[in-house]
Amino acid sequence: MSESERKRRSSKSRQVKAPTIADVAALAGVSIMTVSRVINSEPKVRQSTRETVMAAIARLNYAPNRAARSLAGASQLRLGLLYSNPSEAFLSAFVVGSLEEAGRSDVQIVIQKVEDGEDVCLAVERMVAGGVHGVILPPPLNEANDVLAVLREANVPTVAVTTAVPHAGIATIMIDDRSAAREMTAHLIGLGHRRIGFILGHPALSASGARLEGYRAALAEAGIPFDEALVAQGYFTYRSGLDAAERLLSFEDRPSAIFASNDDMAAAAVAIAHRRGLDVPRDLTVCGFDDVALATTIWPELTTIQQPIVEMSRRAVELLVTMLRNKREDEIGDQRIALEYKLVRRQSDAAPRLSSR
């Protein structure tokens, strides 16, 4: 790691030039075209070759030159990212993921917010008129039927993120919400909890329903009867979590654990618990869903389901780009990509102090 590199450097004063596709090709012992194919994940490359090239890429720390790429390639793609007012924490992770992938695949991302009062469909139409080639929809727009309708009519390939029950013709990136909620609930039951409160998510989103299903499934498996009183409506906002937690904790026989449908609401539950003099997790276990930054900001840090948000939006862009570049827009609607979630255990859960069995 010195002779050759040093030579290269000294050749032209100190200018270290970035490695090019040719360098990679030389190192891997293939032609530049093959490297190009690997980079763009085109299908016609033997697995072994692909790996060799990948290794060379990693070794040189090579990144394709965007300028050259867009100059040589077809006209640059533009993707629209339309959002309304989700959890800010969620959104920023989401934006980071799509922007990263956008950089990698050299597409433009047009980010547009739909203001609260505004007509959603108008915003979509504006975007379509602006000539975007595809659209990405984070929650809650991922299931706004009017938006989807406009998009479908305009024949704009669309990918919705975090939709638990996919719509026909709309590609979807998701995790298995039901199974994740089931796992978390089972975890709580395993800890010894029997009265487990549940804070619902926004009723318009299918993920909310899926999470509730998972909660019920785990209860059923453990032979614990479902108690409607332990389920409180929430809307994915901190504020709504405050109200829901207040309700759940005001019962005579309050739950020993609360499972909120997202972290914002879980954080709210922690706040309410503290306000009532309850220690988390000693007196009350609280866990969330999503694992946004907030989960590790507050104290105690939340036990939660880690949803790979950055990865999900990255994949959304990637999917759109692949389809658009390969001119297979027709196929796009049928894609269903489910990513892995993970239960991450932190400090907000514990065994119940007073068993209420």
Q: Tell me how far CA of residue 307 lies from CA of 175, 335, 341, in angstroms.
A: 7, 19, 5
For its own copies, the closer CB: 40 or 65: 65
Any contact of residue 1 with DNA (CB under 7 A)?
Answer: no
Contact stretch for DNA (CB under 7 A) within 72-80, 119-127, 215-223, 313-321? 72-80
Q: Is 30 in the site for DNA (CB under 7 A)?
A: yes
Contact 184, 196 (CB under 8 A): no
What residue 220 binds from DNA, its own copies, none (CB within 5 to 8 A, per partner kind)?
none
Structure tokens at 282: 């000693």
> Binder to DNA among 27, 39, 89, 91 (CB under 7 A)?
39
| Main-chain dihedrals φ then ψ at residue 35, nearest 5 degrees | -60, -45
CA–CA separation, 305 and 345 (whole Å): 9
Choose among its own copies, DNA, none what residue 31 binds, the Cβ cut-off being 5 to 8 Å by kind.
DNA
Among residue numbers 125 through 164, which ones bind DNA (CB under 7 A)? none
Which residues are at the interface with its own copies (CB under 8 A)?
14-18, 61, 63, 65-71, 75-76, 78, 87-89, 92-93, 95-96, 99-100, 102-103, 106, 108-111, 129-131, 155, 238-239, 242, 264, 267-268, 271, 274-275, 277, 293-294, 296-299
Alpha carbons 127 and 108: distance in angstroms, whole number: 13
Measured in Å, how far apart are the chain's first and last C-alpha atoms? Answer: 66
Quick one: tokens of 62?
A: 């090579």
Which residue in 69, 152, 247, 276 binds DNA (CB under 7 A)?
A: 69
Q: Which two tokens stand for residue 280?
A: 């988390």
Query: Which is nearest to 206 in space by CA: 113, 121, 139, 306?
Result: 139
Min dist. Cβ of residue 62 to its own copies (A):
10
57 in helix, strand or coil? Answer: helix
Q: Give me the residues that bind DNA (CB under 7 A), please.
A: 17-18, 20-22, 30-34, 36-37, 39-40, 43-46, 48-50, 62, 64-65, 68-69, 71-76, 325
